[in-house]
Amino acid sequence: MSKSVVAMQEAIRIKKPDAKAEAAARRRARQRRERAIEGGLFVAALISVATTVTIIAVLLSESVGFFRTVPLTDFFTDTLWTPLFADPHYGILPLLAGTLVTSAVGLLVAIPLGTVAAIYLSEFSSPRLREVMKPTLELLGAIPTVVYGYFALIVVTPALQRLWPDLPGFNMLGPGIVIGIMIMPFVISLSEDAMRAVPMVLREGSYAMGATRLQTAWRVVVPAATSGLVAAYVLGISRAVGETMVVAIAAGQNPNLTWNPLEPAATITAYIVQVALGDLPHGSIGYQSIFAAGLVLAVLTFAFNILGHMMRKRFREVY
Amino acid sequence: MAAQSSPHPRPSIGRRKIAEALFKVLGLCSLAIGVGTLVLLFGALLVEGVTRIDWQFLMSFPSRHAAKAGILPAWVGSTLIMLVTAVVGVPLGVAAAIYLEEYARRTWMTELIEVTVTNLAGVPSIIYGLLALGLFVYILGLGENILVAGLTLALLILPVVIVTTREAIRAIPVEIREAAYALGATKWQTVAHHVLPYSAAGILTGIILALSRAIGETAPIVTIGALTFIAFLPPAPITTHPPYVSFDWLLSPFTVMPIQMFGWVSRPGEDFASNAAAAGVLLVGMTLAMNGVAIYLRYRMRKQVTW
């Protein structure tokens, strides 16, 4: 507060003999209250830091117990994952393969479709269609994942079995495709943002040279928005890798080291769900194994998220 | 001039026009796949499940006989957990957003908070489940109950609430704040009397979107021991004897709608599949309704407010 305002307030109260002291006391009380409120808000903001630290701490501390029993070399080289069997093996590769295959199928669906749809929305569609499509896509992204899991198991897989009659009821292709459709709205929304951030003058320059809309979109807008598009894909990968319910329902529960999407295989997330559904005592190796699996998942998604956000920052800074 | 560089301009123009038309069709098809899925998904659920939805289904406990099974404990559980999530998550998220937008100075601490918020928004929900299992269930010893589920989902929606609230607050022009300061208002008075009321619709939109996400979450609830077969309701919050309010329900075991659906999907048999579909119809219906309200609110806001 500026000095003159304080002086004015004092001048108004000058008639009372103790007005000065009273005003000062009130001012102090108000400052104390303001500081207390700011402190409270700051504590609320700190919760996100605390959550992040706790996630890392919980995953690490439980994994330490796991890696005391299981050497790191076994963890990364053993080709079997059977922690709950009489003859336990702890190789993360089968789960990792399941995660990568379902994510890859998802990305093969989401990236081409999402990019084309985003180019269309950003460069071709009428504003009216865009106004309608954006909320609709948002709705698509808001549907509970367990419903998508049902969809993969009961609708998509039987439809695929008509194409490949010997496709098993649990497989990685069906859930992969559904994951792709699920992350498509996310990819579209981020890619469209990136393309809309390309300045109009670049397009106008291209049109002035006689380029069509498609040529402008493909040779001017997309190259200019590359880092934003890549960011959208990378963040999409992170979503696909962390997707849980679709694969837990429709991809099967058996760890299976294969790169063939027509086979069933458990993913890291599906394994965590499977173990959590049972009743494992705290401190047992099976209990610790879900934290070790979770740690691998967290490291993967953290890496993709950080990469994605770095790329997104770059496209913002260029113009 | 043009004729010199390309002797037959017309065929080339024709080709380019065809390519453009083809791309338009391709673009529309991609969009149609997205939207078509939504329609197909909801259609498949309706066909399979709508006949199962009746009063008996809503008011029954799960059962080994698919035809007798219902989702009473599931929707009661979902409602109570949403209550905890909203009571805990919304004030914290809004407070954090106010701090970041109105108070925070550019320090490394602010930078750290912002980075963690962005990162938490991308953390897979199953990881929140592991956090809850390690922290709430074992370290704090809170057990596997409604309170823990609500707290877990509160942490999960925190980034969503923070991000949308910040956007809503940022849309309030700085002149409003300057006018308040000029009249001698303190920072908090400015925020509480002006910034928050004017951005209330935007904040509400974010809260609805966040809760609609929380209500459909399955993975983080699975890890803290939600049961798919639960044949009782949590204790009632209102009792007949003083003090008339009871919080025992917070410590009750629970199930929620998505878990119930997951339980039915995983069971073999046509009958349970139609139960799952019926639960799915209700879940999707609820999410669509909540999102619809949010989208409508945002639409009205954009139309009305001109600063």
pLDDT tens, A118-145?
A: 999 999 988 898 888 888 888 888 889 9
Contact assignment for B219 to A244 by CB distance below 8 Å: yes
Q: What is the largest CA-CA distance in chain B?
A: 97
In a domain, B2, yes or no: no
Q: Please indicate, yes or no, whether residues B96 and B229 belong to a single structural domain of this protein.
A: yes
Please give the pLDDT value at position A76: 85
Average pLDDT over residues B123-145: 88
Residue A95 half-sphere exposure, CB side, CA atoms within 13 Å? 30
Please give the pLDDT value at position B1: 41
Q: Under DSSP, is residue A276 helix (H, G, I), strand (E, B) or coil?
A: helix
Contact assignment for A212 to B17 by CB distance below 8 Å: yes
Please count the residues of chain A. Answer: 319
Q: Please indicate, yes or no, whether residues B252 and B298 belong to a single structural domain of this protein.
A: yes
To the nearest whole Å, the CA of B238 is away from the closest chain A CA by: 31
Q: Please indicate, yes or no, whether residues B37 and B119 belong to a single structural domain of this protein.
A: no
Average pLDDT over residues B123-137: 91
Residue B25 neighbours by CB distance under 10 Å: 10
Percent of the residues in chain B that have a pLDDT greater than 90, as a whole number: 31
B3, with CB counted inside 10 A (0-12, 13-18, 19+), is exposed
Q: Please indicate, yes or no, whether residues B69 and B184 belong to a single structural domain of this protein.
A: yes
Nearest CA in chain A to B181: A1
To the nearest whole Å, the CA of B236 is away from the closest chain A CA by: 27
In a domain, B3, yes or no: no
Please tell me if residue B99 touches chain A, with a CB cutoff of 8 Å. yes
To the nearest whole Å, the CA of A246 is away from the closest chain B CA by: 10
Please give the pLDDT value at position A71: 84
Percent of the residues in chain B that have a pLDDT greater than 70, as a whole number: 89
Contact assignment for A113 to B100 by CB distance below 8 Å: no
In a domain, B5, yes or no: no
Contact assignment for B124 to A241 by CB distance below 8 Å: yes
Contact assignment for A47 to B217 by CB distance below 8 Å: no
Please give the pLDDT value at position A263: 86
Please give the pLDDT value at position A319: 53
CATH of domain A93-318: 1.10.3720.10
Q: Please indicate, yes or no, whether residues B123 and B271 belong to a single structural domain of this protein.
A: yes
User: Could you give the CA distance from residue A98 to residue A229 in angstroms, rounded to a whole number?
Assistant: 26
Nearest CA in chain B to A234: B122
To the nearest whole Å, the CA of B282 is away from the closest chain A CA by: 11
The CATH code of the domain that includes B217 is: 1.10.3720.10
To the nearest whole Å, the CA of B183 is away from the closest chain A CA by: 10
In a domain, B1, yes or no: no
Query: What are the boundaries of each domain within chain A?
Result: 3-69, 93-318
Rg, Å, chain B Cα set:
25
Please give the pLDDT value at position A281: 79
User: Could you give the CA distance from residue A260 to residue A256 in angstroms, rounded to a whole number?
Assistant: 10
B contact residues 247-306, partner A, Cβ 8 Å cutoff: 258, 261-262, 265-266, 273, 276-277, 280, 283-284, 287-288, 291-292, 295
CA dihedral over B155, B159, B161, B162, signed as positive or negative:
positive
Is residue B137 very low, low, confident or very high in pLDDT (cuts 50, 70, 90)?
confident
Total structural domains in chain B? 2
Of B96, B209, B216, the CB nearest to A144: B216
Q: Which positions in chain B touch A49 (Cβ < 8 Å)?
A: 112-113, 116
To the nearest whole Å, the CA of B249 is away from the closest chain A CA by: 23
Residue where the block lists tokens 């409604």: B146
Contact assignment for A144 to B217 by CB distance below 8 Å: yes
Residues sharing a CB contact under 8 Å with residue A185, sequence separation 6 or more, in sequence order:
A137, A138, A140, A141, B34
Q: Please indicate, yes or no, whether residues B37 and B114 belong to a single structural domain of this protein.
A: no
Please tell me if residue B18 touches chain A, with a CB cutoff of 8 Å. no
Can you give the residue range of the structural domain that contains B34? Answer: 10-50
Cβ A142 vs Cβ B287: under 8 Å: yes
Residue where the block lists tokens 């890392």: A56
Please tell me if residue B157 touches chain A, with a CB cutoff of 8 Å. no
Contact assignment for A294 to B126 by CB distance below 8 Å: yes
User: Could you give the CA distance from residue A231 to residue B3 in angstroms, rounded to a whole number?
Assistant: 43
Please give the pLDDT value at position B3: 43
How far is CA A265 from its chain centroid? Answer: 22
In the numeric block, which tokens belong to residue A77? 């080289």
Q: Please indicate, yes or no, whether residues B260 and B244 belong to a single structural domain of this protein.
A: yes
Of A51, A136, A245, the CB nearest to B218: A245
Please tell me if residue B170 touches chain A, with a CB cutoff of 8 Å. no
User: Could you give the CA distance from residue B206 to residue B164 in angstroms, rounded to a whole number?
Assistant: 5
Q: Please indicate, yes or no, whether residues B139 and B28 belong to a single structural domain of this protein.
A: no
Q: pTM value?
A: 0.87
Please tell me if residue B49 touches chain A, with a CB cutoff of 8 Å. no
Please give the pLDDT value at position B243: 75
Q: Please indicate, yes or no, whether residues B239 and B162 belong to a single structural domain of this protein.
A: yes
Q: Mean pLDDT score of chain B, rounded to an integer? A: 84
Q: Please indicate, yes or no, whether residues B114 and B241 belong to a single structural domain of this protein.
A: yes
In the numeric block, which tokens belong to residue B33? 């796949």
B contact residues 62-81, partner A, Cβ 8 Å cutoff: none
User: Could you give the CA distance from residue A85 to residue A63 in angstroms, rounded to a whole number?
Assistant: 19
How far is CA A153 from its chain centroid? Answer: 23
Q: What is the largest CA-CA distance in chain A?
A: 97
Q: Which positions in chain B touch A153 (Cβ < 8 Å)?
A: 265
Q: Please indicate, yes or no, whether residues B143 and B46 belong to a single structural domain of this protein.
A: no
Please give the pLDDT value at position B74: 85
User: Could you give the CA distance from residue B112 to residue B133 in angstroms, rounded to a whole number?
Assistant: 26
Residues sharing a CB contact under 8 Å with residue B16, sequence separation 6 or more, in sequence order:
A212, A214, A215
pLDDT exceeds 70 at position B259:
yes
Please give the pLDDT value at position B59: 77
Q: In which residue ranges of chain A is pLDDT below 50?
A: 1
How far is CA A113 from its chain centroid? Answer: 19
User: Could you give the CA distance from residue A175 to residue B232 in angstroms, rounded to a whole number?
Assistant: 34
Q: Please indicate, yes or no, whether residues B162 and B15 belong to a single structural domain of this protein.
A: no
**A275-281 contact pairs (CB < 8 A, 24+):** A275/A84, A276/B129, A276/B133, A276/B222, A276/B223, A276/B225, A277/B222
